[in-house]
């Protein structure tokens, strides 16, 4: 039985206008009614992405979106998922962790490409990265097992520290899955093991410069932001080390487990 909550959206939706769902990761936390133009942009980008994935011959890929404007942190992509299909003729599904809007909780989802680009992202752009063939096979096997559930922590923190199991952000779930698939010398079945392996493998987190007053405001008014998992000295210096899309891709490049140059697609 699939461990993911199911959101089965096809690439073509019959409804022209609908209200967005209340699960977010790397997107603005607002409920909005999508107009036909917005819906079309999301579906066109989903179609471009599907065609690129079909042409790649891959069974699995990493996919990222521009859910919100992170330019002040020198970041482009806010949220990452794993897009996969369990057999060559199957439809592409995105496995990812989503924060339940306005709360400190998250769930795992396995949903259609159309849903991935809904809810008015900051930019209609996606990044596709192909792992090497051996890693693809291992990731597919993991997604069919109970490992994704074991590596999921429902206590969500948008700025989770990579070497703490108190919380998890959506990119961290992907990173820890990568650890489980990449660790040839040890079997990883929980988050502590995954983080120990990542430390030995020299994973380098992304560092955001966040002043104390900004941190205080975020902690007081946002349930999905916490800082108590971060080392005290780094936190007091305003240096917040967290799991970004860029840091995950850099780690993959460092380990030479990418078989293709990064592909960027956008609408129009």
In the structure, what pLDDT confidence band is assigned to residue 14 with cuts at 50, 70 and 90? very low
Quick check: helix, strand or coil at residue 124? Answer: strand
**Strands 263-266 and 123-129, bridge-based pairing:** antiparallel
Tokens matching residue 131: 């792992």
Per-residue pLDDT, averaged over 167-178, amounts to 98
Per-residue model confidence (pLDDT) at position 24: 54
Of 57-61, 136-140, 259-263, least confident by mean pLDDT is 259-263
- Tell me the per-residue pLDDT of 91-112, one tens digit each, with 9 for 90 and over: 999 999 999 877 899 999 999 9
Range of the domain at 245: 5-266
Q: For residue 78, which of 262, 245, 254 has the smallest C-alpha distance?
A: 245
What's the whole-model pTM score? 0.88
- Tell me the per-residue pLDDT of 224-236, one tens digit each, with 9 for 90 and over: 999 999 999 999 9
- Which letter does DSSP use for residue 261 in this model? -
Residues across the chain: 268
For residue 104, list its beta bridge partners. none
Number of domains in the chain: 1
Per-residue model confidence (pLDDT) at position 86: 81
- Tell me the per-residue pLDDT of 181-231, one tens digit each, with 9 for 90 and over: 999 888 999 999 999 999 999 999 999 999 886 876 676 557 899 999 999
Q: Residue ranges of the alpha helices (H) in the chain? A: 36-56, 113-116, 133-143, 147-150, 170-182, 191-200, 212-221, 232-236, 245-254
């Amino acid at each position: 039985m699939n461990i993911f909550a199911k959101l089965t959206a096809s690439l073509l939706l019959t409804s022209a206008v609908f209200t967005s769902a209340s699960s977010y990761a790397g997107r603005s936390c607002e409920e909005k009614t999508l107009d036909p133009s917005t819906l079309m942009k999301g579906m066109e980008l989903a179609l471009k992405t599907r065609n690129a994935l079909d042409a790649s011959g891959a069974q699995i890929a990493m996919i990222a979106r521009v859910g919100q404007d992170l330019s002040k942190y020198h970041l482009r992509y806010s949220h990452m998922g794993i897009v996969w299909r369990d057999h060559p003729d199957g439809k592409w599904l995105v496995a990812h962790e989503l924060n339940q809007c306005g709360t400190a909780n998250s769930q795992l989802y396995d949903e259609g490409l159309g849903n991935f680009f809904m809810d008015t992202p900051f930019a209609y752009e996606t990044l596709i990265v192909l792992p090497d063939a051996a890693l693809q096979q291992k990731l597919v096997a993991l997604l069919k097992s109970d490992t994704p559930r074991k590596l999921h922590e429902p206590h969500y923190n948008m700025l989770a520290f990579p070497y703490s199991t108190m919380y998890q952000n959506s990119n961290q779930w992907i990173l820890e899955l990568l650890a489980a698939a990449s660790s040839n010398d040890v079997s990883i079945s929980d988050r502590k093991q995954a983080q120990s392996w990542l430390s030995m493998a020299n994973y380098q987190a992304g560092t955001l410069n966040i002043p104390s007053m900004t941190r205080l405001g975020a902690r007081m008014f946002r349930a999905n932001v916490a800082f108590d998992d971060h080392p005290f000295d780094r936190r007091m210096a305003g240096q917040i080390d967290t799991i970004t899309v860029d840091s995950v891709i850099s780690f993959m490049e460092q380990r030479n487990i990418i078989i293709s140059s990064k592909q960027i697609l956008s609408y129009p």
